[in-house]
Amino acid sequence: MKVATQTISASECLLRMYDEHHEIEDYQKGVPRWCTGCGDNAILTAVQRLCRDEGLLPEKTVFVSGIGCSSRLPHYMNTYGFHGIHGRALPVAEGAKLARPDLDVFVNTGDGDCCSIGAAHWIHAVRYNMDLTMMLHDNQIYGLTKKQASPTSPIGTKSNTTPRGSYLEALNPLTVTLGISNVSFVAQVVDWIPEVLYQVISAAFHHKGFSFIRIVQRCPEWLPKQMDPWMHDPQRVLLLHHENGLEISPALAKVYTKMEEHDPANMNRAREIASSDDPIPVGILYRDDDIPCYEDVRHDSRLRTAEMVKNGLNAELDKFTVWPEGATHA
Amino acid sequence: MQANFQDQIAFYLTGRREGSKLKPLDGSYRPALFARVSDLASLRYDLPLILNVSGTADRVVLSLSHLIDEAVESLGQSADRDRIARHGYKLELELRKGSTANGSDDFGKMWSDAAARLSDNADPSMQDSAQKLWSHFDVAGTLVDADAEFPSRVVYHAWNAVQDTKAKRFRKKAERLLQKLRDILDAEAIGSAAGRAPDRLRAGVGTSFGTTFDFNAMSRILVEGKPGFELSGERRTRIKGLIEVLERQRFYPVGTNVDEPYSFAFFKCSDALDAYQERHDEAVELLRTLAIADLETKGEYRESVHDVLFDGFGSNGLDAEELAELPDYLVCTDAGTLDAVDTAQMVELLAAGLPIKVLVRTDDILEPSKVAEGHVALGLRARQLVDTAIGLTDVFVFQSGASHLFQMRESMIRALSYDGPALFSVFSGATGHNADMPPYLVAAAAMESRSFPALVYDPSAGADWATRLAVSDNPNLDDDWPVHSFAFEDETLQAGSENLAFTLADFMSMDDRFYGHYAIVEESYQSDGLIPISEALHADVTGLPSEVPYITLVDDKLTMQRAIIDDRLLLETRRCLTMWHSLQELGGIHNSHAERLLAKELKSRSAEAAANVGAAEVAQTEDAAVAEPTPAAVAPIDEPTAEDHGDDPYIESARCTTCNECTNLNDRMFAYNAEKQAYIADPDAGTFRQLVEAAEGCQVSIIHPGKPRNPKEPGIEDLIARAALFN
């Protein structure tokens, strides 16, 4: 758990005697409005399990999202959350982390939110390498707006914007991310293997730096059966395992026999694996713990007093003030 | 000749100089190895130092020579580099002379004065060079040279720098807590009915829109629409109390506290102890306040739990970690004025683990013993304290000559930053018995001669002696004495050289109280019977000696002379060597335990090797086939076996994606477990049809309907056929 790396004062230890245990229900808020059968539910459960297992304090945890089905996730977490505007989840999360590095910040975004309108933020968030955990819920379609092609829709996908089938090859979020400077954690999972989903999110959470997880997710409403060939044939899933990556349980290894030992430090092999969409690679593709985090490099040690915030705001507002003739700028 | 050697033997045995061929020693002689350092001010070396008050912790103490070298280096390959460097070295020389003659002063002032003096006399471009070099320095502080007060100045300055860092850390924490505590009170005030009164709301909007809103209505809506936020009386009182303690404390004053801050530097241990005891209750109150404020600002203070705990805070004493939040005490003492009571009190202070740093400055380590004639104390008082402090195991001990304070500055800062007691034993070199020898040279000579060795005992470094005790700052660590090559010319102007050891006898020859133990032997009367003292120390003499030990000196004309020493001095030198050997052993050099163990191990290995040779010869005559090593048995992996569910329905819960398909169908039959994954809570809470439909609807096909529990259910044949796909 991340707290272990911070200094624990005597008073904090005292507190932990009383308050350290949470149930999954403690992190649940409201009833999800997602369609029945939606893969977003699996992701929600995985992050709630993570919060419970790591004993994350709700008031020290933030989920930030943009717009889309995926981005409703903060509504269902009993933590702090920010349902932002389209494509801007990452800048909001970066701001929160920079101002409050003590918080655990998660970002939930979709293939439209991240790979289309928010693509610029995605690239720079990887380069900034702030200590955030980003989950890209990739269901290959705009679902909330009722079926339009997204950047990751496979070529030929028929949708309301592409009635004759989409014309372009899908964008591969893994190869893009692996090509950005300072990339420090890239993983891929599928929503229908909850055990691996949880393990990867947990590994991403423990990684110090920007963790990018692409979650291949079913959309039972607009693209039903799209992922069935992979879901019903374990041979079309390639499990990546390594002593520095995932440990595959014997039960899982019995079902998913197609496996590869892949060292997450090997960037060249990671890029090769990332290029494959059949079988779908599942596991940690790349990890580098030595990339510095932006918030550490740029941390401002000044105390953010009310006065400092007020002066800062005033200084900003003064830039747009029309000073009467003859008046001097105080 | 023979008769003269008899005189030398007699001197060696009795210390009495008979005959005219043995000349007395006086202040015009110095150890031969010091021949080149007659004028220290003209040489480049560590001193003078700048006690820097700007910059990071590693730049607290700076050497003038290093500073100028750094500045010259940073000039790169600019065209005027040579000129600036030349001027820099001239300024350095001028400053060194000035500091030796006039003592310490502000570095900036001394630098500009020196530049002005040199400009008048010689080069007009000197001022330009001085300014350019200064722009690279980035320092501010005092320039100090070695004198009796030098150790106190350096240690006090470094202590101040460490305390400044602690103070900044404390203030940052305290100010943050104060801010948050005040925020809690402010939040209550703003959230209260009074805070939402029309006047307050009007003041919040400002004059421009003062008439735009109906503030009475706004106030009414706000007060009625949103419940007020009010602290409990106990909590409000507690928070006010915490703020009051933080604002009033005098350890590290914050904000507008006008009270005089406490002083933590003392000249006597008793004064420091009195101050510590006097402030103890306040210290406990402050530390308790910090702990409570921490909880309070997080909203985690629970009266039912914490009141009892904090009522007893500090009643069991404060530990080093807690005390480390507050300033350390510094006591600067002079070993010459310490009496038995002071010493005992100092040991008690150190043993109590209080956050106290004690500097014991020794000016005279060759003080004659009060009880035994001719016996020298060799810094007895400081040595006693150092030995005792090391024995206390959790006291950081630092010992050095004043000459090496700069070289050992990292250890000094580490000792000052240590969260427990620390003892600094420093020899100033200002003995008053070394003619015109500068204190720097005397202190350096003491370290070279092993009479005041450097040591660092750091309890925080590890658990064993090897990591805790470091003696590596001493010269020629592995040897008995430092040995240097000494070059000279003989009568025929031919170059020659010999290796000279620098021993205690060489060091003592500089002290006027011991001149009587030396006799200069004229060259024409020197015989083969004279041997260097480093050899004489190991000679095993029984009966009348046939050899007389000598050391090599130079006179004021730099002519080499041999001075024989008496038996008393040889004994003292041998005692000093024994003490050095003991320290070497503690530092892991020539450790007798390790050497014995090594000898034993070597012996046992050679015996084992001999036995193996014999066994190999026997084996050659037999079948030499060697069996393949048996691979280690691999423990079988327990694979999970499929649980036998019989005809009952079941769900592979671990694969459930929590998609709500089944629970939406019948939430009494299907439910989520603690991992929020589905299981069959009650197979009788619904129909077999629901089970089959759930299995068909399950996205990941993990529901197995089993056999129907009610065979009379309508359409059962069809349902059984559909269920078969999932069983």
Query: Where residue B616 falls among pLDDT bands split at 50, 70, 90?
Result: low
Q: Looking at chain A, which residue has its C-alpha nearest residue B295?
A: A11
Give the residue carrying structure tokens 């990591």: B467
Mind listing the pLDDT tens digit for each residue in A133-164? 999 999 999 999 999 999 999 999 999 999 99
Residue A323 maps to a domain:
no
Whether residues B658 and A44 touch (CB distance < 8 A) is answered with: yes
- The backbone torsions φ and ψ at residue A216, rounded to the nearest 5 degrees and listed phi first, read -75, 120
Q: Are residues B564 and B677 in the same domain?
A: no
Handedness of CA B258, B264, B267, B272 (dihedral sign): positive
Whether B655 and chain A come into contact, CB under 8 Å, resolves to yes
Mind listing the pLDDT tens digit for each residue in B170-208? 888 888 898 888 888 888 887 777 888 888 888 878 777
Q: Are residues B576 and B705 in the same domain?
A: no
Q: Are residues B367 and B453 in the same domain?
A: yes
Residue A127 maps to a domain:
yes
Q: Between A and B, how many residue pairs show a Cβ–Cβ distance under 8 A?
A: 88
Find all residues with CB under 8 Å of A200, minimum gap 6, and list them. A187, A189, A213, A246, A283, A284
The CA distance from A61 to A70, in Å, is 18
Residue B153 maps to a domain:
no
| The total number of structural domains that make up chain A | 1
Mind listing the pLDDT tens digit for each residue in A165-184? 999 999 999 999 999 999 99
Report whether pLDDT(A14) > 60: no
Whether residues A250 and B640 touch (CB distance < 8 A) is answered with: yes
Q: What is the CATH number of the domain that holds A104?
A: 3.40.50.970
pLDDT at B570: 87
Report whether pLDDT(B110) > 50: yes
Beta strands in B403-454 (DSSP E): 422-427
The CA distance from B560 to B491, in Å, is 11
Q: Are residues B10 and B136 in the same domain?
A: no
Give the closest of A191, A251, A305 to B657, CB-based: A191
Residue B13 maps to a domain:
yes
Residue B430 maps to a domain:
yes
pLDDT at A32: 92
Q: What is the CA radius of gyration of chain A?
A: 21
Report whether pLDDT(B625) > 70: no
Strands B105-106 and B141-144: antiparallel
DSSP string, B352-406: TT-SEEEEEEES-S-PBPSSSTT-B-SSHHHHHHHHHHHHTSSSEEEEEEGGGTT
Residue B526 DSSP one-character state: -
Residue A181 maps to a domain:
yes
Q: Are residues B561 and B443 in the same domain?
A: no
Range of the domain at A255: 22-293
Q: What is the mean pLDDT of residues B35-63?
A: 82
Residue B608 maps to a domain:
no
Residue B698 maps to a domain:
yes
Q: Are residues B17 and B64 in the same domain?
A: no
Q: Which segment of A13-17, A323-327, B126-130, B640-644 scores lowest on mean pLDDT? A: A13-17
Q: Are residues B456 and B346 in the same domain?
A: yes
Whether A218 and chain B come into contact, CB under 8 Å, resolves to yes
Q: What is the mean pLDDT of residues B315-334?
A: 83
Question: Which chain B residues are closer than 8 Å to A225 by Cβ?
Answer: none
Residue B275 maps to a domain:
no
Residue B221 maps to a domain:
no
Planar angle of CA B85, B90, B92, nearest 5 degrees = 90
Q: What is the CA radius of gyration of chain B?
A: 41
Q: Are residues B484 and B448 in the same domain?
A: no
| The total number of structural domains that make up chain B | 4
Whether residues A10 and B306 touch (CB distance < 8 A) is answered with: no
Average pLDDT, chain B: 83
pLDDT at B310: 84
Question: Which chain B residues are closer than 8 Å to A11 by Cβ?
Answer: 291-292, 294-295, 300
Q: Are residues B359 and B455 in the same domain?
A: yes
Q: Looking at chain B, which residue has its C-alpha nearest residue A15?
A: B300
Query: Where residue B8 falls among pLDDT bands split at 50, 70, 90?
Result: confident
Question: Which of A8, A13, A15 would best serve as a mutation to test chain B binding (most B beta carbons within 10 A)?
Answer: A15
Find all residues with CB under 8 Å of A38, minimum gap 6, and list them. A69, A218, A219, A220, A221, B659
Mind listing the pLDDT tens digit for each residue in B408-467? 989 999 999 998 899 999 998 888 887 778 888 888 888 888 888 999 999 988 888 888
Crossing angle (nearest 10°) for helices B269-297 and B150-191: 30
Average pLDDT, chain A: 89
The larger pLDDT score, comparing residue B703 to residue A305, is at B703
Range ranked top by mean pLDDT from B211-215, B369-373, B718-722: B718-722
The CA distance from B558 to B506, in Å, is 16
pLDDT at B629: 38
Write a three-state SS string for chain A. Answer: CHHHHCCCCHHHHHHHHHHCCCCHHHHECCCCCCCCCCCHHHHHHHHHHHHHHHCCCHHHEEEEECCCCHHHHHHHECCEEEECCCCCHHHHHHHHHHHCCCCEEEEEEEHHHHHHHCHHHHHHHHHHCCCEEEEEEECCEECCCCCEECCCCCCCCCCCCCCCCCCCCCCCHHHHHHCCCCCCEEEEEECCCHHHHHHHHHHHHHCCCCEEEEEECCCCCCCCCCCHHHHCCHHHEEEEECCCCCCCCHHHHHHCCCEEECCCCCHHHHHHHHCCCCCEEEEEEEECCCCCCHHHHCCCCCCCCHHHHHHHHHHHHHCCCCCCCCCCCC
Q: What is the mean pLDDT of residues B154-164?
A: 91
- Tell me which of B101, B117, B145 is where a domain ends: B145
Planar angle of CA A204, A205, A211, nearest 5 degrees = 45
Q: Are residues B497 and B454 in the same domain?
A: no
The CA distance from B345 to B323, in Å, is 20
* Cβ proximity of B128 and B78 under 8 Å: no
Q: From the centroid of its chain, how far is CA A176? A: 15
Find all residues with CB under 8 Å of B402, minimum gap 6, and list them. B146, B150, B151, B154, B426, B427, B428, B429, B439, B440, B443
Beta strands in B502-547 (DSSP E): 518-521, 530-532
Write b or e for each residue in A45-74: b if 16 or more Cβ atoms lie within 10 A of its Cβ, otherwise e.
bbbbbbbbebebbeeebbbbbbbbbbbbbb
The CA distance from B458 to B242, in Å, is 37
Find all residues with CB under 8 Å of B282, minimum gap 6, and list them. B249, B250, B251
Q: Are residues B523 and B453 in the same domain?
A: no
Whether A78 and chain B come into contact, CB under 8 Å, resolves to no
pLDDT at B584: 87
Residue A299 maps to a domain:
no
Whether B659 and chain A come into contact, CB under 8 Å, resolves to yes
- Tell me which of B421, B436, B470 is where a domain ends: B470
Q: From the centroid of its chain, how far is CA B327? A: 16
Range of the domain at B408: 330-470
* Cβ proximity of B238 and B300 under 8 Å: no
Find all residues with CB under 8 Å of B196, minimum gap 6, and list them. B190, B219, B222, B223
Question: Which chain B residues are closer than 8 Å to A192 by Cβ?
Answer: 655, 657, 699-700
pLDDT at B128: 85
pLDDT at B466: 83
How far is the alpha carbon of A127 from chain B, nearest alpha carbon, in Å? 31
Whether residues A250 and B677 touch (CB distance < 8 A) is answered with: no
A window 148-187, beta carbon within 8 A of B = none
Dihedral class, residue A79 (left if φ above 0, else alpha if ψ from -120 to 50, else beta): beta
Q: Are residues B561 and B689 in the same domain?
A: no
Query: Where residue A324 falls among pLDDT bands split at 50, 70, 90?
Result: low
Residue B383 maps to a domain:
yes
Report whether pLDDT(B642) > 80: no
- Tell me which of B125, B145, B165 is where a domain ends: B145
Report whether pLDDT(A219) > 60: yes
Biggest CA–CA distance in chain B, Å, is 139
The CA distance from A85 to A155, in Å, is 28
* Cβ proximity of A113 and A70 under 8 Å: yes
Whether residues B640 and A37 touch (CB distance < 8 A) is answered with: no
